[in-house]
C-alpha cells in the first residue's frame, strides 16, 4: 500500500478525489513510479506524465473492426492481469473487521484505515523476506 487518502463526506468520483487530495500533483512531481489504475481514472496518465496507467480506452462504440476488437481485448487483458495484485490488496484491506463494520465516529475512519494499511504493508514486506536473509 503506497497511499491511503483521507475520506471525504458524500460520494465523489475517484478521479476528483485524486485531484483534490493532491495525488496527481505528487505523482507529476515525485519519483518515477507506475500506478495501475482502473477505468475511473481515465485521463490521469496525461496529467502525471504517463505515471498512471489505465485500461485502454475504447475508440469504437459500435461496429468496430475485428482487428480492433482483438487488439483492444489483448490490451485490456494485459492491464487486468497486471492490476489483479492491486485489486487483491484492496480486497485484503476490506476484509479486516474494523473497516468492514465500522460503527464509530466517521472522523476516526481515516486513522483506522491508515493503521490497517500500515500493518498490511509490514506483513507483506515480512512475507517477502526469506528466513536466511534476516
Residue 24 lies in a domain: yes
Residue 65 lies in a domain: yes
Residue range 117-126: mean pLDDT, rounded: 66
Residue range 98-106: mean pLDDT, rounded: 62
pLDDT, position 114: 72
pLDDT, position 78: 93
- State pLDDT tens for residues 42-81: 888 888 888 888 888 878 778 888 888 899 899 999 999 9
Residue 7 lies in a domain: no
pLDDT, position 87: 85
- State pLDDT tens for residues 11-52: 888 888 888 888 888 888 888 888 888 888 888 888 888 888
Residue 82 lies in a domain: yes
Range of the domain at 70: 14-115
Residue 130 lies in a domain: no
User: What gap in Å lies between CA 121 and CA 127, rounded to an integer?
Assistant: 10
Closest by CA position to 41, among listed 60, 27, 29: 27
Query: Domain count of the chain?
Result: 1
Report residue 106's pLDDT band, with 50, 70 and 90 as the boundaries: low
Angle between helices 66-94 and 109-128 (to 10 degrees): 100
DSSP 21-70: HTHHHHHHHS----EE--GGGTTHHHHTTT-EE-PPPP--SSS--HHHHH
Amino acid at each position: 500500500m503506497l497511499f491511503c487518502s483521507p475520506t471525504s463526506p458524500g460520494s465523489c468520483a475517484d478521479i476528483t478525489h485524486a485531484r483534490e487530495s493532491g495525488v496527481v500533483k505528487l505523482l507529476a512531481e515525485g519519483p518515477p513510479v507506475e500506478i495501475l489504475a482502473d477505468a475511473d481514472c481515465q485521463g490521469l496518465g496525461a496529467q502525471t506524465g504517463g505515471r498512471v496507467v489505465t485500461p485502454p480506452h475504447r475508440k469504437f462504440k459500435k461496429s468496430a473492426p475485428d482487428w480492433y476488437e482483438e487488439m483492444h481485448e489483448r490490451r485490456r487483458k494485459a492491464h487486468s492481469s497486471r492490476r489483479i495484485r492491486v485489486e487483491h490488496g484492496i480486497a485484503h484491506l476490506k476484509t479486516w473487521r474494523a473497516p468492514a463494520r465500522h460503527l464509530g465516529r466517521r472522523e476516526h475512519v481515516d486513522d483506522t484505515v491508515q493503521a490497517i494499511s500500515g500493518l498490511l504493508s509490514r506483513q507483506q514486506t515480512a512475507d517477502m523476506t526469506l528466513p536466511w536473509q534476516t
